Amino acid sequence: MALRMTENHTELSFRYMRIEGRKEKLLDFLLRKFRYLDREEWLENIREKRLTVDGRNADPFQLLKDHQKILYLRPDFLEPEVDSSFDKIFEDDFLVAFNKPGNLPTSPSGKYYKNTLVNLAKKKYGWKKLFTLHRLDRETSGVILFAKQKKTAQKMAEMFREQQTRKFYKAILENSLPADDVIVSMPIGSDPKSSIRIKQGVQFEGRPCTTHFHLLKNLDKRCLVGIRPMTGRTHQIRVHAHYIGCPVTGDKLYGLADDGFLNWLEEGQSYLDQLNFPVSRQLLHAMEITFTHPESKEALTIHADDSKMLQMIPN
C-alpha cells in the first residue's frame, strides 16, 4: 500500500490481488482489509466518489481483478482527534525522544494517518524524515525514541532485535498483585478464542515472553506497579497483567469481554460511561529506556515524566 499526504486528504493506493483465486466484490474487500469502517461508512465513501478502481469511480459490487489499482482519497475530517501535547525530552544529531501522551498513535495505521506522533513531530520541527525505532500503543504514554538518520536507525534496529535495550514502565493495575514481585514467563500469541484480530493471549504455541511486575504501592482496589518486560512482544505487559488477574486499569481490549470491546469501538465513550468504566485510557506509561548510543557509545537512560498518568488514577 502506498500513502501520500496532501493538504486536505490522505491518498491510499494499492494493487489488488485475489486470495487463492477467489472472486471478491469491492465492498467485501474493503470490509475485510479495513475493519475500522463498517458497511454503511464504506458505501458513503463510494457515494461521495472517494474511491476509484483503475481511475474510474468505484462500484461497491464490482468484482475485482488481479493487479487493479484501488485509490482511496480520505478527507482529513474523517480522522479522529488526538492529544498532540507531546514533549521533546532528548535530542542530538542522531536521535530524538518524546514523552508521548496517552491518546496519540506512534505511526500511521488503522484510522490514523496524519494525526500520529511521527507526522506531527516532523511538521512541528520541520524534519523531512524521522525513522520509527519502536512503538507504544495509542493509549500508552511515555518515552519513545526515533532516529534522524537511516544509518542510525539500522544500528538501533539491530540493538532492539538483540535485546540490547532495557525498558521500565509504570502502570495502575486492577486488584492487588498476588505477591510484591511477580515474574510471568508465559508464551504469547494470537488469541484463537477471540473474534478480535489484534487480540493476543497466553498460548503455549506462542513466542517466549517474560515480564517482571514489582509492587510500588497498594491503592485500595488497585495497585501501582513497576514493570520490566524482558522481551518485546505485542501487548506483552497487558496480556501478562490480565493473565495474573490484574488487567491494566482502563484497558478496553483486555479488561472487557470481546462484545464489550466491540461495543466501545462502535459507541465510544458513551458506552464506557454506561459501564462506569474507571478511566478513558489505559494507565500504562513507559518511564525510561536504557541503551548504548549507537554513535557516541555513551550509556544513556532517557526518562519520561509520569505525572499526567498518575493524575488520572480513579478514586
User: What pLDDT does 290 receive?
Assistant: 98
Domains of the chain: 2-78 (3.10.290.10), 87-310 (3.30.2350.10)
Closest CA to 227 of 215, 217, 219: 215
The mean predicted confidence, pLDDT, of the chain is: 94
Contacts of 118 by beta carbon, 8 Å cutoff, 6+ apart: 106, 107, 108, 130, 132, 146
User: What pLDDT does 110 receive?
Assistant: 79
For the chain, which residues score pLDDT lower than 70?
none
One-letter amino acid at 190 equals: S
User: What pLDDT does 9 receive?
Assistant: 85
pTM: 0.86
One-letter amino acid at 42 equals: W
For 27-147, list the strands marked E by DSSP: 51-53, 56-57, 69-75, 87-91, 95-100, 131-132, 141-147
Contacts of 173 by beta carbon, 8 Å cutoff, 6+ apart: 213, 222, 223, 225, 241, 246, 247, 248, 249
Residue 129, sorted as left (phi over 0), alpha (psi -120 to 50) or beta, turns out to be: beta
Instruction: Kindly list the catalytic residues.
Output: 137
